[in-house]
């Protein structure tokens, strides 16, 4: 009977340790992922802010810029799929 209660106590300790490790990892990972998502959003918006000066400097028409930006986002989408 003693062995069963000891094994049960050890299993409870392992489960508590596992839950604690998962909680700590989740907190750190979620904060990091939120930061990365924010930086990603800023980076994707930055191309539209750069368009004004870049179009003038490179002599691009709005249609050419739109096509190039579309290719950028298609490549971004293709590279995003493996991370799912």
User: Where exactly are the structural domains of the chain?
Assistant: 2-83
Residue 7 or residue 17, greater confidence: 17
Task: Check pLDDT > 80 for residue 27.
Answer: yes
Task: Using the predicted structure, report yes or no on whether residue 53 has a pLDDT greater than 70.
Answer: yes
Distance separating alpha carbons of residues 49 and 33, to the nearest angstrom: 24
Q: Please, is 26 exposed, middle or buried when counting C-beta atoms within 10 Å of its C-beta (0-12, 13-18, 19+)? A: exposed
- Quick one: pLDDT band at residue 1, thresholds 50, 70, 90? very low
Helix (H, G, I), strand (E, B) or coil at 83: helix
Per-residue pLDDT for 46 more than 50?
yes
pLDDT at site 6: 52
The average confidence (pLDDT) of the chain is: 80
- Per the document, the length of the chain is 84
pTM over 0.75: no
Structure token digits, residue 75? 């490549």
């Amino acid at each position: 009977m003693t062995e069963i209660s000891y094994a049960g106590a050890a299993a409870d300790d392992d489960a508590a340790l596992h839950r604690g490790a998962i909680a700590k990892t989740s907190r750190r990972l979620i904060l990091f992922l939120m930061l990365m998502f924010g930086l990603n959003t800023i980076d994707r918006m930055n191309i539209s802010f750069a368009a004004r000066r870049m179009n003038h400097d490179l002599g691009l028409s709005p249609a050419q810029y739109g096509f190039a930006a579309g290719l950028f986002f298609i490549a971004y989408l293709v590279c995003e799929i493996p991370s799912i």
